[in-house]
């Protein structure tokens, strides 16, 4: 292996000068030239581990995600990696899908000097104790998702509440008054914020909240929900879902029950993916900018690392409603159809 000493020898100077040269210090023009020539000639590359050891900085940021095979998560990773790379950082990636560790377990990466910062991207509800532990740890950490209201930690999240309120407005503008809601799993942190948005939105527009059902975020969950909704024989002209697969299943079940979407019932949802975009009818939804979430988290982390910022910040990213074919004007006919 060719080291700094070899370069020094060949350039007839000392290794400290070479080091200085490498790090942009003040070096005489002639010396610099000689050093650069030597570097090229010997094809020298600085040993990154020696640097890390002596500087106690790794230029590595770690990111832990629940399950990266999930389309949404992979976008986050993409965003993080892009920003990190631009800043000369490298990403190491940990998935929790394999080992079911808790997020706090990853704090050991700091103790071993393995990373300069950590992005924790769980969409599960976090327990307060874990958050507190992360907050007091003192190392650069950014949370994506639920921060449990703890203001001592940096976090980035989507404004699930506002996104849902925007969707209520959309339905309200289309003349819908009776809107049912399909809530997601308790374990997922955004379920609650979205429900909040629904309840708040309904109130905001002077509407009485409709039936609220809870189901898992699968196609089957959506189907089940609609079946039980229809069985209740309560009037509704629109159904708000909180997840793409859910709404796809819901639409399926509505059609099976002889209802047309959006003619009889409008359906809107959350998350924009292949299903929402390309199935028939295309689904009105709230798009979360996952890549931007990752990028934002990365920038936030880098600023903590490099500027040792002391102020904690919580960033809420606003999602946007994408209007598609599954939502339409509420019609008298539609109401009747559902009343059966």
Residue 278, contacted partner among its own copies, DNA, none, CB below 5-8 A by kind? its own copies
Q: Which does 77 bind (CB under 5 to 8 A by kind): its own copies, DNA, none?
A: its own copies
Q: CB of residue 67 vs its own copies: minimum separation in angstroms? A: 8
Give the residue with the Cβ less far from DNA, 30 or 187: 30
First to last CA, the chain: 81
Which residues of the shown chain bind its own copies in the complex (CB under 8 A)? 1, 43, 45-50, 52-53, 56, 58, 60, 67-71, 73-75, 77-78, 81-82, 85-86, 90-95, 97-99, 108, 111-114, 219, 248, 273-275, 278-280, 291
Tell which one of 10, 13, 163, 241 touches DNA (CB under 7 A). Answer: 13
Between residue 26 and residue 85, which ones bind DNA under the rule CB under 7 A? 26-28, 30-32, 46-47, 50-51, 53-56
Q: Is residue 255 close enough to count as binding DNA by CB under 7 A?
A: no
Contacts 24+ apart (CB under 8 A), 141-150: 141/117, 141/301, 142/117, 142/118, 142/297, 142/300, 142/301, 142/304, 143/119, 144/76, 144/119, 144/120, 144/293, 144/294, 144/297, 145/121, 145/189, 145/190, 146/122, 146/189, 146/190, 147/314
d(CA 114, CA 164): 40
102 binds DNA (CB under 7 A): no
Pairing verdict, β 238-241 and 266-270: parallel
- As measured in angstroms, the least distance from the Cβ of 183 to DNA is 49
103, 122 in Cβ contact below 8 A?
yes
Closest CA to 215 of 233, 252, 197, 188: 188
Q: With binding defined as CB under 7 A, does residue 17 bind DNA?
A: yes
Q: Which does 37 bind (CB under 5 to 8 A by kind): DNA, its own copies, none?
A: none
Partner whose footprint covers residue 4, from DNA, its own copies, none (CB < 5 to 8 Å by kind):
DNA
Residues of this chain that bind DNA (CB under 7 A): 1, 3-5, 12-17, 19-20, 22-23, 25-28, 30-32, 46-47, 50-51, 53-56
């Amino acid at each position: 292996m060719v080291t700094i000493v070899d370069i020094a020898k060949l350039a007839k100077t000392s290794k400290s000068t070479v080091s200085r040269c490498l790090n942009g210090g003040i070096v005489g023009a002639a010396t610099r030239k000689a050093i650069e020539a030597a570097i090229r000639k010997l094809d020298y590359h600085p040993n990154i581990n020696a640097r890390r050891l002596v500087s106690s900085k790794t230029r590595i940021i770690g990111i832990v995600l629940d399950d990266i095979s999930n389309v949404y998560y992979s976008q986050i990773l993409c965003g993080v990696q892009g920003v990190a790379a631009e800043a000369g950082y490298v990403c190491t990636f940990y998935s929790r899908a394999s080992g079911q560790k808790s997020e706090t377990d990853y704090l050991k990466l700091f103790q071993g000097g393995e990373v300069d910062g950590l992005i924790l991207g769980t969409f599960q509800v976090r327990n307060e104790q874990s958050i507190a532990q992360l907050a007091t740890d003192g190392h650069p950490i950014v949370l994506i998702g639920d921060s449990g209201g703890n203001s001592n930690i940096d976090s980035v999240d989507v404004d699930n509440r506002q996104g849902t309120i925007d969707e209520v407005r959309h339905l309200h503008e289309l003349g819908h008054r009776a809107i049912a809601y399909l809530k997601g799993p308790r374990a997922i942190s955004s379920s609650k914020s979205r429900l909040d948005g629904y309840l708040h939105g309904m109130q905001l527009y002077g509407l009485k909240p409709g039936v609220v059902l809870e189901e898992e975020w699968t196609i089957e969950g959506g189907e089940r929900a609609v079946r039980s909704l229809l069985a209740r024989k309560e009037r509704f002209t629109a159904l708000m879902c909180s997840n793409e697969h859910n709404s796809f299943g819901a639409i399926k079940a509505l059609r099976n029950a002889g209802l047309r979407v959006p003619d009889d019932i409008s359906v809107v949802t959350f998350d924009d993916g292949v299903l929402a975009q390309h199935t028939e009818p295309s689904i009105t939804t709230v798009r979360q900018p996952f890549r931007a979430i990752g990028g934002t988290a990365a920038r936030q982390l880098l600023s903590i690392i490099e500027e040792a910022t002391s102020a904690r910040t919580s960033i809420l990213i606003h999602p946007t409603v994408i209007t598609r074919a599954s939502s339409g004007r509420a019609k008298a006919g539609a109401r009747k159809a559902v009343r059966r």
